[in-house]
Amino acid sequence: MSPLSRFARSCAIAARTSLGLLAAVAAIFAVATAAPYGSTTASAATGTNAAKYYGMWNYDQPDAATLNNIDVLACPDGGGQCDPQLPLPLQVPQVGWVVFSPGPGGTVNGQTDGGCTWNFRVQRTGLELSSTTQECTNRAVGSPGNITKWSVQVKGDHETESIVTVSHQPNGVDLIGTMSSGSRTKVTGGRHNGRFVQRFLGDYDYDPADFRTLTNVVSTDKGTVYPEQGTVRFSGTRHDRGKINAHTPDGCDWTLVVRGNTAELDPDTQTCHTANGDRSLYYWALVTDDGQHINGFLAGSTTAPGQPPTNTFLYVGALTRSATDPERFTTPTMSARPGH
């Protein structure tokens, strides 16, 4: 089979499965994008120190080799009841932040960057969900899911966690997402930390699209898919050293705020007007620890003149600093350039 034929076949398979994937990944991204919690009377265990969890925590950059911060979506028990067109098991890198703060009755709340809250009870071994019935309607994906386990441990400014999610499929089969190894770092320098901003500045190219892993494959709620490609140029903003501008291949400009190793849209919803219609972004989170590679997740929509919006999702975004970048990043501890 020729490369072109393989590419066409991959596109066809991905297009047939894109609608199912909207529901399949909803629970995975619930951790990064919201889950309301019900009333609880759980209280902190005697002798615990809840305060050590308080603050903002960013996911460290995902590592495909060790599966750290990689959620693996699979059919329960490896069974054959799942849609055979779904590319399972599917590895989905995790990005984003959570803010832990005091909750009712001695519990701890975890507010995600989607704006909603999970509730945890405090145990001597760490944080555990106060109930296994907390659900989310994912703001970015718009599909419900449930997290049955989220365990958190903290040592200083470093956090580790493990998560099990359940995604309810239209055919009644629940898909299971498991992240056995997760880690975050506490954001201690606020958003005006030049060395973190510097990691993003410059040109980053989208890695080649892979329809088997969904890397840099955009899925839509109309059942279509297409590769994301081209170069994104990140630059400093004139009035706020904690923000960056992202100039995307379609000619649009987007503003993101940098907190630690993570950059996210600010404001949350932005729209770009082009000759072919409007493009809006509702969620875009990017993470880099080394200033060479970026992982991301993006949700938005495109609206052609006279047509209803088409929702778009880039579940597995991956970019690499351009080899021709004139401001090629060399040292993770460099400070931001003066005047930015």
- Give pLDDT tens digits for 113-163: 876 678 999 999 999 999 998 877 666 666 666 788 999 999 999 999 999
Above 50 in pLDDT, residue 205? yes
Please give the Cα distance from 177 to 165 (Å, whole number): 5
Please give the Cα distance from 297 to 286 (Å, whole number): 7
Q: Is residue 340 part of a domain?
A: no
3-state secondary structure 104-169: HHHCEEEEECCCCEEEEEEECCEEEECCCCCEEECCCCCCEEEEEEEEEEEECCEEEEEEEEEEEC
Say yes or no: 111 and 206 in one domain.
Answer: no
Q: Is residue 125 part of a domain?
A: yes
Say yes or no: 94 and 45 in one domain.
Answer: yes
Q: Is residue 7 part of a domain?
A: yes
> What does the pLDDT read at residue 252?
97
Q: pLDDT-based confidence at 19, cuts 50/70/90?
A: low
Say yes or no: 7 and 32 in one domain.
Answer: yes
Q: Is residue 96 part of a domain?
A: yes
Say yes or no: 134 and 226 in one domain.
Answer: no
Please give the Cα distance from 218 to 215 (Å, whole number): 9
> What does the pLDDT read at residue 11?
42
The two structure tokens encoding residue 189: 């320098």
* Tens digit of each residue's pLDDT (9 = 90 or more) over 79-120: 667 777 778 899 999 999 999 999 999 999 998 887 667 899
Say yes or no: 178 and 198 in one domain.
Answer: no
Say yes or no: 127 and 219 in one domain.
Answer: no
Say yes or no: 26 and 167 in one domain.
Answer: yes
Write down which residue in 186, 202, 217 finishes a domain. 186
Q: pLDDT-based confidence at 239, cuts 50/70/90?
A: confident
Residue 296 structural domain:
194-321
Say yes or no: 23 and 84 in one domain.
Answer: yes
| Integer Rg of the chain from CA | 20
- Out of 145-149, 244-248, 306-310, which region has the weakest mean confidence (pLDDT)? 145-149
Say yes or no: 199 and 142 in one domain.
Answer: no
Say yes or no: 216 and 107 in one domain.
Answer: no
Mean pLDDT of the chain: 82
> What does the pLDDT read at residue 1?
40
> What does the pLDDT read at residue 187?
95
Q: Is residue 217 part of a domain?
A: yes
* Structural domain total, the chain: 2
Write down which residue in 130, 160, 186 finishes a domain. 186
Q: Is residue 328 part of a domain?
A: no
Residue found under tokens 């081209």: 230
Q: Is residue 331 part of a domain?
A: no
Above 50 in pLDDT, residue 42? no
Q: What does the pLDDT average to over 189-193?
A: 63
> What does the pLDDT read at residue 56?
95
Write down which residue in 186, 214, 240 finishes a domain. 186
Say yes or no: 165 and 43 in one domain.
Answer: yes
Say yes or no: 208 and 247 in one domain.
Answer: yes
Which residues neighbour 179 within 8 Å (Cβ) at sequence distance 6 or greater? 69, 70, 71, 72, 94, 161, 162, 163, 164
Q: Is residue 326 part of a domain?
A: no
> What does the pLDDT read at residue 84?
76
Q: Which CATH number goes with the domain that contains 168?
A: 2.40.128
DSSP assignment of 38-53: ------PPTT--GGGG
Above 90 in pLDDT, residue 281? yes
Residue found under tokens 């954001």: 187
Strands 262-265 and 270-274: unpaired
Please give the Cα distance from 140 to 241 (Å, whole number): 27
